[in-house]
């Protein structure tokens, strides 16, 4: 499709699990990402949600071209990211940026804010009008005082540090920003401010976002479409309304029923997810969610449900043999 900027096809990433110190041998594989496909359209936000350990950051690194997938492909516009020459990869790096969860560990504490935000120019060349001017402009764009260019990261609050990370990501005027849990480490009130900033920047600069979170509530307002991940796979995907108002996969339903509501006494039929997420080294046979699913039947252990729309039960893709709107939430 012409308006797709990023296209991800059947991507897997299996890390070898090794044992031994002198003679390391492989005793298994961590199936961190296990067959993920999606498209990102120009100017939209795709929310990518799942519990910790389900493969979100691994996928983010693959999208950035920073880690090679075990199989599958990533295309930026119509180019295969993993078939690019070095100069082409450099050019791609200008157009796609990453904003990470913890701004403190991703910002060098010994560099001034001006140097941090201006760092991409050292690699890719100075902008028109000069580096200093552009850095001040960038600080202003993200709501920071340009007179603070000579301060160090520790002199800023958590929310301000995330703004510094965003300013740096914007420096080279990218088209796509992969946001890997950019607000997860922030207080709720600060989260909203940073989310609003990201939404404003998207409108102003026509950015496309893949917005990663472990909580469905966080991405609701910024997402046009949402993909829910469980143990390395997308289990349900649809537009914002389909996922939040008509979820058909039991996992999505459970995640949504755990979203805090203003008056908890008004909540009915909360679904409690029991047990831990199984190990990605040895995922359950058939449907990976079956060890925690209240709807599981025999077929769930033997046949893996495909991620597809199911006429009459799910208008959007849902990887469940018994997909359908819940009567429990
Ligand atoms: N370099 C690596 N080597 C081995 N296992 C890894 C590596 N990176 C991530 N993993 C494993 O892959 C799984 C997915 O991790 P990650 O992508 O960080 O998930 P998330 O971001 O959703 O929390 C986890 O089980 C993690 O321990
Ligand atoms: S396929 Fe079975 S185990 Fe998996 S989500 Fe659906 S009902 Fe639950
Ligand atoms: Mg992560």
For the chain (length 329 residues), average pLDDT per consecutive 10? 88 91 85 97 96 95 95 95 92 92 78 94 85 95 96 93 95 96 91 95 97 94 97 97 96 84 56 82 95 95 97 97 81
Quote the DSSP letter at residue 155: G
Q: Tokens at residue 174, please?
A: 């990218």
Any domain includes 164: no
Containing 109, the helix (H) or strand (E) segment is none
Q: Is the CB of 53 under 6 A from ligand 1?
A: yes
Closest C-alpha among 103, 9, 94, 110 to residue 59: 9
Residue 263: its pLDDT value, please? 56
Q: What is the crossing angle of helices 113-124 and 131-141, to 10°?
A: 120
User: Which domain covers residue 304, as residue numbers?
Assistant: 248-329
Quote the DSSP letter at residue 52: T
Q: Are 174 and 207 in contact (CB under 8 A)?
A: yes
Proportion of the chain in helix, strand, coil states, percent, rounded to 5: 35, 25, 40
Q: Tell me the CA–centroid distance for residue 235 and ligand 1, in Å.
A: 18
Any domain includes 156: no
Q: Are 177 and 97 in contact (CB under 8 A)?
A: yes
Q: Residues lining ligand 2, judged by CB closer than 6 Å? A: 250, 287, 289-290, 293, 295-296, 300, 305, 320-322
User: Which atom of ligand 2 lies nearest, measured to the CA of 300?
Assistant: 2
Any domain includes 128: no
Quote the DSSP letter at residue 232: T
**Which position has the token pair 């740096």?**
168
- Measured from the alpha carbon of residue 33, the closest ligand is 1
Q: Tokens at residue 17, please?
A: 């699990």
User: Which atom of ligand 2 lies nearest, measured to the CA of 290?
Assistant: 3
Q: Tokens at residue 73, please?
A: 């492909």
Q: Tell me the CA–centroid distance for residue 161 and ligand 1, in Å.
A: 25
Residue 258: its pLDDT value, please? 72
Residue 329: its pLDDT value, please? 45
Q: Tokens at residue 98, please?
A: 């990453």
Q: Are 80 and 73 in contact (CB under 8 A)?
A: yes
- How many domains are contained in the chain? 1
Q: Are 181 and 105 in contact (CB under 8 A)?
A: no
Any domain includes 227: no
Any domain includes 220: no
Any domain includes 44: no
Strands 79-80 and 96-99: unpaired
Any domain includes 50: no
Any domain includes 329: yes
């Amino acid at each position: 499709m012409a308006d797709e900027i990023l296209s991800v096809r059947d991507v897997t990433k299996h890390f070898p699990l090794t044992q031994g110190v002198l003679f390391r041998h492989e005793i298994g594989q961590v199936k961190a990402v296990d067959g993920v496909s999606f498209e990102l359209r120009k100017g939209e936000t795709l929310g990518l949600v799942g519990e910790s350990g389900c493969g979100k950051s691994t996928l983010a690194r693959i999208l950035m071209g920073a880690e090679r997938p075990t199989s599958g492909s990533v295309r930026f516009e119509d180019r295969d990211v993993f078939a690019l020459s070095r100069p082409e990869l450099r050019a791609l790096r200008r157009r796609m940026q990453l904003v990470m969860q913890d701004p403190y560990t991703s910002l060098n504490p010994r560099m001034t804010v001006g140097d941090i935000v201006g760092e991409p120019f050292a690699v890719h060349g100075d902008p028109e009008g000069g580096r200093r001017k552009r850095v001040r402009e960038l600080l202003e764009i993200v709501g920071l005082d340009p007179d603070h260019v000579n301060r160090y990261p520790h002199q800023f609050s958590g929310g301000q540090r995330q703004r510094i990370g965003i300013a740096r990501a914007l420096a080279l005027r990218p088209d796509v920003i992969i946001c890997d849990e950019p607000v997860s480490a922030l207080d709720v009130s600060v989260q909203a401010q940073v989310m609003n900033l990201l939404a404003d920047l998207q409108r102003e600069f026509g950015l496309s976002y893949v917005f990663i979170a472990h909580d469905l509530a966080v991405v609701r307002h910024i997402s046009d479409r949402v993909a829910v991940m469980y143990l390395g796979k997308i289990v349900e995907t649809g537009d914002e309304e389909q996922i939040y108002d008509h979820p058909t996969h039991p996992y999505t339903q459970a995640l949504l029923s755990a979203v805090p509501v203003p008056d908890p006494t008004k909540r009915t039929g909360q679904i409690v997810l029991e047990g831990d997420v199984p190990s990605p080294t040895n995922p359950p046979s058939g449907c990976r969610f079956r060890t925690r699913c209240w709807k599981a039947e025999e077929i769930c252990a033997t046949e893996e449900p495909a991620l597809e729309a199911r006429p009459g039960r799910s208008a959007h893709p849902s990887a469940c043999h018994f997909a359908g709107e819940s009567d429990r939430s």
